[in-house]
């Protein structure tokens, strides 16, 4: 007698919580891969179109998967549900001198954060949409790591994943990198997470802060306070056309890459301050 393979179907009318629960149930039905054998090879640098081919193989084979395959699968299962904002959350921890890596798919919808994924531990995978802020979601994972006696080294949060990707567009895994082993206070980490969450929610593309902790990454940077009082810290997250490769830019005439601009001079005048407030 043949075993019935897991299936996934989207209903026309259902809430975000119901839909995400259905996606997670499908991931759970595939089960976590404890065999030590890698059934599917995932290239993080591959385009979303190429990753779609791997997803089809995963769903067709219905073999056990690990956290990375589950995250990629969750991205495609939620594709087109534009009321969901999605971003990757990667963890690096240490236990008994060994380094462990883990990744889940962060979700934001209607003012609440959650996550989809698979793990050996139940408290390191699925998180319902119950967290009003990104910092509370990350703190929940942090407490889970401590409960398993893991030392959390760093957390990496990716950029928003488009529901309508370009042909060669890739998943941006690194939007902000937060080291947990550099002596930063919990207040500083929550502060930077709450500011970055504003960008993930799409409520702003300019973040201004006089004093942020010295936590940096490729796309979301903070630096030491300038000695010149006429400078204030400005972190601008915007889009810039990629003109480094004419062949690629010809294929992707509307393609974009992320950039950040820090430490821009601001004139201390009422007009300048009004423009800054409007930009927020």
- Those residues whose C-beta lies under 8 Å from the C-beta of residue 93, and which sit 6 or more positions away, are 99, 100, 102, 145, 150, 151, 152, 153
Do 195 and 222 touch, CB atoms closer than 8 A? Answer: no
Q: Which structure tokens are listed for 127?
A: 């998180």
Q: Which structure tokens are listed for 134?
A: 């990104």
Do 120 and 150 touch, CB atoms closer than 8 A? Answer: no
Q: Which structure tokens are listed for 77?
A: 């299962």
- At 186, phi and psi to the nearest 5? -60, -35
Three-state SS for 131?
strand
The question of whether 146 is a catalytic residue gets the answer no
Q: From the candidates 90, 93, 109, 119, which is the catalytic residue?
A: 119
Three-state SS for 213?
coil
Three-state SS for 280?
coil
Alpha-carbon gap, residue 157 to 173, rounded angstroms: 7
The question of whether 67 is a catalytic residue gets the answer yes
Q: From the candidates 93, 102, 135, 195, which is the catalytic residue?
A: 102
Residue 160 sits at the vertex; the CA angle it makes with 9 and 17, to the nearest 5 degrees, is: 40
- Those residues whose C-beta lies under 8 Å from the C-beta of residue 200, and which sit 6 or more positions away, are 85, 87, 106, 108, 134, 157, 160
Helix (H) or strand (E) holding 113: strand 112-116
Q: How much of the chain is in helix, strand and coil states, percent to nearest 5?
A: 30, 25, 45
Do 213 and 191 touch, CB atoms closer than 8 A? Answer: yes
Active-site positions read 67, 102, 119
């Amino acid at each position: 007698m043949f075993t019935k393979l897991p299936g996934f179907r989207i209903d026309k009318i259902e809430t975000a919580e119901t839909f995400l629960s259905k996606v997670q149930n499908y991931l759970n039905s595939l089960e976590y891969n404890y065999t030590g054998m890698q059934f599917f090879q995932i290239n993080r640098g591959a385009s979303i179109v190429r990753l779609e081919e791997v997803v089809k193989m995963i769903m067709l084979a219905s073999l056990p998967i690990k956290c990375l395959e589950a995250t990629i699968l969750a991205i495609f299962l939620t594709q087109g549900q534009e009321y969901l904002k999605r971003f990757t959350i990667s963890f690096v921890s240490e236990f008994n001198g060994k380094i462990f890596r883990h990744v889940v798919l962060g979700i934001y919808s209607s003012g609440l954060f959650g996550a989809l994924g698979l793990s050996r531990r139940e408290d390191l995978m699925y998180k319902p949409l119950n967290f009003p802020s990104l910092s509370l979601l990350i703190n929940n994972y942090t407490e889970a790591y401590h409960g398993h006696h893991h030392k959390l080294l760093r957390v990496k949060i990716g950029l928003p994943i488009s529901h309508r990707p370009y042909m060669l567009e890739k998943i941006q895994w690194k939007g902000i990198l937060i080291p947990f082993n550099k002596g930063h206070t919990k207040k500083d980490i929550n502060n930077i997470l709450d500011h970055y969450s504003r960008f993930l929610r799409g409520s702003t593309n300019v973040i201004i802060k006089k004093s942020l902790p010295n936590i940096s990454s490729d796309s979301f940077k903070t630096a030491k306070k300038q000695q010149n009082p006429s400078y204030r810290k400005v972190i601008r997250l915007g889009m810039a056309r990629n003109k480094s490769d004419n062949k690629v830019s010809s294929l992707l005439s509307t393609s974009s890459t992320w950039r950040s601009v820090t430490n821009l001079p601001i004139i201390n005048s009422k007009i300048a301050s009004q423009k800054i407030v409007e930009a927020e």
